[in-house]
Structures are given as structure tokens and as C-alpha cells.
A and B are shown apart, each in its own frame.
Chain A
Amino acid sequence: MTQSGDVKTLKIDGRDLSARADETILDIARENGISIPTMCELEGLSSPGACRLCLVEVKGSNKLLPACITRAEEGMEVTTNSERLVNYRRMIVELLFTERNHVCSVCVSNGNCELQALGQQVGLTHVHFPYRFPKEEVDASQDRFIADHNRCILCTRCVRVCDEIEGAHTWDVMGRGIESHVVTDLHDAWGDSASCTSCGKCVQVCPTGALSEKGRSVAEMHKRRQFLPYLTMMREGHE
């Protein structure tokens, strides 16, 4: 073989593509205009591979693999859009909706919500699982922001941006499984947090209306997160 070890060749949806060895299937798909739905992944942050929306089929593997953390390998044959994947993705989105209390029509992020957009993208018309209707807290103790746990999907973007970019690590995850919640400091009220710098990055990266600016009315919360790749790039450049 004359091929350099740094370059991998693979097939995605039947297309012959090449990739650097450090690239994930998701990176390559995006570079080549192949759409794979994502939720917890966000450019500029590490990927936990948690939401499982970017699952793809890889020939020779019985398991479905998350595209965001699976590296390209030589000779890989990837399918991103089979009927099985489409069904699983829709099921995942349905389950996200059942876990907490998502009421788009009266949400600050209505019309600008990644979960809502994802529902439309995967063709969600009904939720086939019973809703849990948990009693969730609204933490309005912070001066500028509100955390509404009714709308949290546990993507942990807030946890990662606070740790990896701001360096404050105010947010973390408490509990296990369905009982998991994001918390500030040691489950203190956000307004009482000693580590929070009130920078608002968590609010801007939150895909839903779970974290929002105070005083926003319905559909008025527009998230701005263009800053994130630049911050990451500048930080890496200076280290």
C-alpha cells in the first residue's frame, strides 16, 4: 500500500471519501455535506457521545456507533440514514420529550430551539411513550439568568462549556439515570454559586429553553454561540 498512514479512505452512504486519522465520522460527513442529526455535540466543546442521535451503522459491526466519537478507519463502510437509524433517532427524540415538561407554545425558545428543530427534522408527529410529567424546579435565583429544569434534556453542554471554556466548572451532573440533574456547585441555588462568573456561556450553548436570560418572553430567547469555535481556537493558539 502506498497510502500515507495519516489518511484514511472510507465509504459513507456509498460515497468514497478520505479523512485524516484524527477525524470522526461526523467530521467527515459534515465536510462532505452529509447530514447526521446531533444534540449533545457542539463545535468547540468535547463530545461525550451521550445523546446517541448521531448513531450510524458500520459494516461488520453489530452495534450502532455514535458518529461524533467514532474515528474514521481504513476501509470503513458507514450508513447514516437507514430505516433502522431513522426509527431509532425518532424514538430518541420522543423519549427526550417524555422525560421532562416541554411545552413549545409557551417556551422562551419557541422557534429557536434545537430540540424542536430536531423533532421536525426526524419527522416527529406523535410521542408513542407515556409522558412522565415530573415536578421540576425553576431556579431564578441568579441575577441575569433562569434555569428551568422542566426543559433540560441533560445534553451537558452547559457543564462542558463552563469547565472547558470558562474554566469555572460551576455546572455538573448530580444523580444517576432518570434521576440525573444538572446542578450548580454542590447543588446550591445558582444565585448563591461562588464559582459562577455570570458569563452566560452556558445559556448560549443550551439547546432548549432550559437556560435563558431573565425577562425574556415567549419565543424571545435567541441563542448566540458563534463565539465558541473562536474562543477554543484562540485558547489553543495561546497554550
Chain B
Amino acid sequence: MAATKTITIDPVTRIEGHSKITLHLDETGRVTDARFHVTQFRGFEKFCEGRPFAEMPSLMARICGICPVSHLIASAKACDELLAVRIPPTAEKLRRIIGIAQVVQSHALSLFHLSSPDLLLGMDADPATRNIFGVLEAEPQLARDGIALRKFGQQIIERLGGKRIHPGWVVPGGVNNPLSQQDRDAILAAIPDALAIALRSLAWFKGVAEKFADEAESFGSFPSLFMGIVNDDGNLAFYDGKLRFVDGDGETVADGLDGADYAEFLGEKVEPWSYLKSAYYTPKGYPGGIYRVGPLARLNVAQNCGTPLADEELRVFRMLHGRTPASSFHYHHARLIEILHCVERMEELLNDSEILSTHVRAEAKPNALEGVGIAEAPRGTLLHHYKIDEQGLIIWANLIIATGQNNLAMNRSVLQVAQRYVRGEHITHGMLNRVEAVIRAYDPCLSCSTHAAGQMALQVQLLGPDGAVLDEAVR
């Protein structure tokens, strides 16, 4: 009798949302297929129907407690399109600041709180201590830095938006309160420390990354397209710009794409085994149009960061891993470079002569019946697309979330890691953890991407061809 088996990792831990992984093994114990299943469903696109469009930014921000600001921005930009207004320049700059503050805090959460236990303590470390508390014990300064960096981002969000989670400050037409001089000065005063932490963390990461050369080889190391927004200079951008696709060799595949035309080049496929849709670049078909978004993709599509310290780090990054690094292990490093860039950019924006202007909102009634808002969220490109009726009520909404765009790549990465590390019938923690760790490298947010409800946890089952459970590990 053929002894093919299925291993299920359910739930996957230290990520944002609920999911499981199944690994299919043949009779010799080799992994033949792997799937990353997102098991939560939410339905935001449906239940916003009939709501007044002006409620959308805050309603959509409820998709996620980690990156509500990104949803606020993409949603408010879609609403700006409905109003058909150009928002005041200061409002745009303030939105940029809160957006990159969000990137800093979210990246800090991903790298320090969720992934640093693997990186510092090792993939095979005891799961009982392989967490942020273990990090705190082994290297207190690193843990403190991570917490401080997240606090830095969160407190800027609170100063601007009134609260750290789900601020209602970003509204159609701009923002609803100007920045006070006191808050501006307080944020500026915190910047030198944040810069020092970003640089210290980069130095630490480059040190430990050498120990993971083997993992880097198999953590989603394959050629694929990368997509991200770039500004007019072709540099890293989070708030505004055109979309660019590059391939695994760094060659530009498409450039200057308008987010509003996304339907012309982005497709979404539904697989019966996951609530998470798989996005692909339609000119290359499914699944050939596999592309990645997020920190690594943004650095791969951008010419430069556009700020001095981050550009220097980007130069080192490219020297170490090539112009277009293919392994998703490098998402971690890219995340740190982006943190550095965001802190530098924030200082620049806060010193802008217009930043304290009180003209921060354009008022209008809806002048268009359809609007698309696009922005770079911490995890990648985020798109909100709304249609309204003549009275301003939402009749249709579509959201394209970063994690959905990484779905094909995550599945492929899980397979690659499993084929490299999973052998035989007995499951070890280190093996399972590597399969999870590659998912963590993408920092998926399943709550966002299924516009759904839940948490991510891990169960692995080894099934015989008759469905009998041969081995099982649950956390």
C-alpha cells in the first residue's frame, strides 16, 4: 500500500491571523506538495454596502488593529477620488507621516516581537522560550529596542490621530485636525533615538543573518515578479506614486502603472482550500504571474530609498544579496532598511515649512461615482476600490490586500522549505518551525487579507493515504 501522508500545521503561530499548513508526503517520506490555508473569513466588502461613503475610512480601518492606518489612508484616498478634490498639501504630508509611523511600528512588531526569537535563539530552540520573553532574557537590549521602536511609531500615530489603534483622523478630503507645534516638537525630539535603534538593529541583523545562510537558500528563494509603488524619481514610496513590476533579474516588466487601472493587470483567483484569494499579474497568467509585494519587493522595484542613511544600507544590502534578492528570508533585512528610511523621511516632513498649516481638509460633496485609493502598507501594496450611488452610499467595494498578493509566493515558499527540511514520518519542532518561519518572513496579516476575523495558530498532522493520523503536533 502506498504510504503517502499529509502533515497539517494548525495553527501557524506568531503571525497575525488564523491559518494552517498542510504538507503532502509520498511513500518515501519526501514532501510532494504544500499548502498554506487561511481559515478565517470576514466579509468587509459585503457589509459596507449601503453605508455612507464618508464612514468608509474608519469602517475599513477596523479590518486590522496592526495596520489600521494603512487602511485609513487607502480608503481616504479612494474617498478623495469620490469627492474629486485635490487635498491640501499639508494634509497630504500629515497623512504621509502617520503612514510611515505605521510602517515603523508594524515592521518593529514583525521583526522584533514575532521573528527575532527564531533569529536570535535559533530555529531549533525550545519553543517554550522561543518568544519575545526568551529574547528579553537572552539579549535585553535587542528586545528593549524593538519595543521602543514600536512605541515610537505608535506614539506618533496617537499624537496625530488621537489614539494608537483605529484613529479616525484621516478623513475624505484630508485630515480632521492640524498638527500642533508641541506635537511636532515632541516627535522631532524622539527621532535621534529611533535612528540610533534602527542603525543598531541593522548592525545586529547583519551579524546574525550569516548564521542563516542555509535557510536563506530555501526560504522562498525562486525567481518571481516584484511589485511596488515608486515615486517620480523611481525611488521608494509609501503614500503615492505609480506601480512598477520587476522580474527576478531586476528587469522592469511594467512601469508607470496607475493604481486605478489595477483590474487591467491584476487578477485574483479563488482556491477552494483557502479563504485567501491569490493575486497574480494577468499578462503572465495563473500561476505564472506570481509576484511578491512588501519590503523586499519595494526595495527591489525602487532605484533608491531617497534618504542618505537608508541608501547607504541599501547599497550594502545589494552588495550582499544582489540587485534583486530572490529569497524571502531577506524581507527581514528589507524591513529594517525601511524602518531607517521612514525615520529619516519623518524628520524631513516634520521640518517642512508648511507642516503646521491649519488648512488640512478639502470639503466637497461626492463628484464621482467610483474611486480607487492605493498606498503601500507595511506588508505591501494596498488597494481600496469603491462605487457609490448618487446619494453617496456604497454600492460595491473591492479590496486588494498585500498578503493576498503574496499568497502564491507564500505557498511556494512553504513547499520549498518543507522539501528542504521535512523528512520522514516523525515531525520535529525545528522542522515545523522553519515552515512557519518562512511564513513569518512575509509578515502576513490574515485578518486584513481575508478582510476577515481571527488569530493564527499551528497544527501539523501526518496522515496516511486512508486518512489515518500517523503523527500530530499541535500548539
Of the stretches A156-164, A197-205, A216-224, the one at the interface is A216-224
Question: Measured between alpha carbons, how far is A89 from B392 in the docked complex, in Å?
Answer: 37
Chain B residue with minimal CB distance to A209? B55
* 8 A Cβ contacts from B156-184 to A: 166, 168, 171-172, 176
Question: Measured between alpha carbons, how far is A180 from B363 in the docked complex, in Å?
Answer: 36
* 8 A Cβ contacts from B48-87 to A: 50-52, 54-55, 57-59, 62
> Do B391 and A105 have beta carbons less than 8 Å apart?
no
Closest chain-A Cβ to B474's Cβ sits at a distance in Å of 32
> Do A219 and B365 have beta carbons less than 8 Å apart?
no
Question: Measured between alpha carbons, how far is A159 from B111 in the docked complex, in Å?
Answer: 57
Question: Measured between alpha carbons, how far is A215 from B59 in the docked complex, in Å?
Answer: 14
Question: Measured between alpha carbons, how far is A146 from B51 in the docked complex, in Å?
Answer: 11
Question: Measured between alpha carbons, how far is A219 from B58 in the docked complex, in Å?
Answer: 10
Q: Which residues of B contact A106 (CB under 8 A)?
A: 55, 58-59, 62
Q: Which residues of B contact A132 (CB under 8 A)?
A: none
Does any Cβ of B come within 8 Å of A96's Cβ? no
Among B54, B171, B172, B393, find the residue whose CB has the most chain A CB atoms closer than 10 A. Answer: B54
Does any Cβ of B come within 8 Å of A138's Cβ? yes
> Do A138 and B393 have beta carbons less than 8 Å apart?
yes
> Do A218 and B392 have beta carbons less than 8 Å apart?
no
Q: Which residues of A contact B51 (CB under 8 A)?
A: 138
> Do B365 and A218 have beta carbons less than 8 Å apart?
no
Question: Measured between alpha carbons, how far is A217 from B391 in the docked complex, in Å?
Answer: 16
Given contacts A105-B166, A106-B55, A220-B168, whether A214 and B365 have CB atoms under 8 Å apart is yes
Q: Mark B373-391, 1 if CB is under 8 A from A, else 0.
A: 0000000000000000001
> Do A216 and B54 have beta carbons less than 8 Å apart?
yes
Provide a sorted-by-A list of 13 A–B residue pairs whose CB atoms are within 8 angstroms: A105-B58, A106-B62, A108-B54, A140-B391, A141-B391, A148-B52, A214-B392, A215-B172, A215-B365, A216-B54, A217-B55, A218-B57, A220-B168
- 6 cross-chain pairs, A with B, having the tightest CB-CB distances, nearest first: A218-B58, A140-B391, A217-B171, A218-B168, A106-B59, A217-B54
Closest chain-B Cβ to A173's Cβ sits at a distance in Å of 23
Q: Which residues of A contact B62 (CB under 8 A)?
A: 105-106
Chain B residue with minimal CB distance to A217? B171
Q: Which residues of B contact A108 (CB under 8 A)?
A: 54-55
Question: Measured between alpha carbons, how far is A106 from B168 in the docked complex, in Å?
Answer: 9
Question: Measured between alpha carbons, how far is A218 from B162 in the docked complex, in Å?
Answer: 13
Closest chain-B Cβ to A25's Cβ sits at a distance in Å of 40
Question: Measured between alpha carbons, how far is A34 from B52 in the docked complex, in Å?
Answer: 40
> Do A217 and B392 have beta carbons less than 8 Å apart?
no
> Do A146 and B52 have beta carbons less than 8 Å apart?
yes
* 8 A Cβ contacts from A204-239 to B: 214-220
Question: Measured between alpha carbons, how far is A214 from B168 in the docked complex, in Å?
Answer: 17
Q: Which residues of A contact B171 (CB under 8 A)?
A: 217, 220
Among B363, B391, B392, find the residue whose CB has the most chain A CB atoms closer than 10 A. Answer: B391
Closest chain-B Cβ to A41's Cβ sits at a distance in Å of 29
Q: Which residues of B contact A146 (CB under 8 A)?
A: 52
Question: Measured between alpha carbons, how far is A121 from B391 in the docked complex, in Å?
Answer: 36
Q: Which residues of A contact B58 (CB under 8 A)?
A: 105-106, 217-219
Instruction: Give me the interface of B with A, judged by CB distance under 8 Å.
Output: 50-52, 54-55, 57-59, 62, 166, 168, 171-172, 176, 363, 365, 391-393
> Do A140 and B55 have beta carbons less than 8 Å apart?
no
> Do A218 and B55 have beta carbons less than 8 Å apart?
yes
* 8 A Cβ contacts from A23-59 to B: none
Question: Measured between alpha carbons, how far is A108 from B363 in the docked complex, in Å?
Answer: 17
Q: Which residues of B contact A220 (CB under 8 A)?
A: 168, 171, 176
Question: Measured between alpha carbons, how far is A209 from B145 in the docked complex, in Å?
Answer: 43
Closest chain-A Cβ to B392's Cβ sits at a distance in Å of 6
Question: Measured between alpha carbons, how far is A215 from B363 in the docked complex, in Å?
Answer: 8
Chain A residue with minimal CB distance to B176? A220
Question: Measured between alpha carbons, how far is A148 from B365 in the docked complex, in Å?
Answer: 18
Question: Measured between alpha carbons, how far is A110 from B166 in the docked complex, in Å?
Answer: 13
Question: Measured between alpha carbons, how far is A99 from B412 in the docked complex, in Å?
Answer: 49
Chain A residue with minimal CB distance to B168? A218
Closest chain-A Cβ to B255's Cβ sits at a distance in Å of 35
Q: Mark A87-118, 1 if CB is under 8 A from B, else 0.
A: 00000000000000000011010100000000
Q: Which residues of B contact A215 (CB under 8 A)?
A: 54, 172, 363, 365, 392
Closest chain-B Cβ to A184's Cβ sits at a distance in Å of 15
> Do B59 and A140 have beta carbons less than 8 Å apart?
no
Question: Measured between alpha carbons, how far is A25 from B322 in the docked complex, in Å?
Answer: 81
Question: Measured between alpha carbons, how far is A218 from B62 in the docked complex, in Å?
Answer: 12
Q: Which residues of B contact A148 (CB under 8 A)?
A: 52
Closest chain-B Cβ to A238's Cβ sits at a distance in Å of 36
Q: Which residues of A contact B168 (CB under 8 A)?
A: 110, 217-220
Question: Measured between alpha carbons, how far is A146 from B366 in the docked complex, in Å?
Answer: 14
Q: Which residues of B contact A105 (CB under 8 A)?
A: 58, 62, 166
> Do A138 and B50 have beta carbons less than 8 Å apart?
yes
Chain A residue with minimal CB distance to B173? A215
* 8 A Cβ contacts from A116-157 to B: 138, 140-141, 146, 148
> Do A138 and B176 have beta carbons less than 8 Å apart?
no
Q: Which residues of B contact A217 (CB under 8 A)?
A: 54-55, 57-58, 168, 171-172, 176
Q: Which residues of A contact B176 (CB under 8 A)?
A: 217, 220
Question: Measured between alpha carbons, how far is A105 from B57 in the docked complex, in Å?
Answer: 12
Given contacts A214-B392, A217-B57, whether A140 and B52 have CB atoms under 8 Å apart is yes
> Do B393 and A140 have beta carbons less than 8 Å apart?
yes
Q: Which residues of A contact B50 (CB under 8 A)?
A: 138
Question: Measured between alpha carbons, how far is A218 from B166 in the docked complex, in Å?
Answer: 11
Chain B residue with minimal CB distance to A137? B50
Question: Measured between alpha carbons, how far is A220 from B62 in the docked complex, in Å?
Answer: 17
Question: Measured between alpha carbons, how far is A108 from B168 in the docked complex, in Å?
Answer: 10
Among A140, A191, A215, find the residue whose CB has the most chain B CB atoms closer than 10 A. Answer: A215
Q: Which residues of A contact B166 (CB under 8 A)?
A: 105
Q: Which residues of A contact B52 (CB under 8 A)?
A: 138, 140, 146, 148, 214
Question: Measured between alpha carbons, how far is A191 from B393 in the docked complex, in Å?
Answer: 14
Chain B residue with minimal CB distance to A191? B391
Closest chain-A Cβ to B84's Cβ sits at a distance in Å of 14
Question: Measured between alpha carbons, how far is A214 from B364 in the docked complex, in Å?
Answer: 10
Q: Which residues of A contact B392 (CB under 8 A)?
A: 140, 214-215
Chain B residue with minimal CB distance to A148? B52
Q: Which residues of A contact B363 (CB under 8 A)?
A: 215
Chain B residue with minimal CB distance to A212? B52
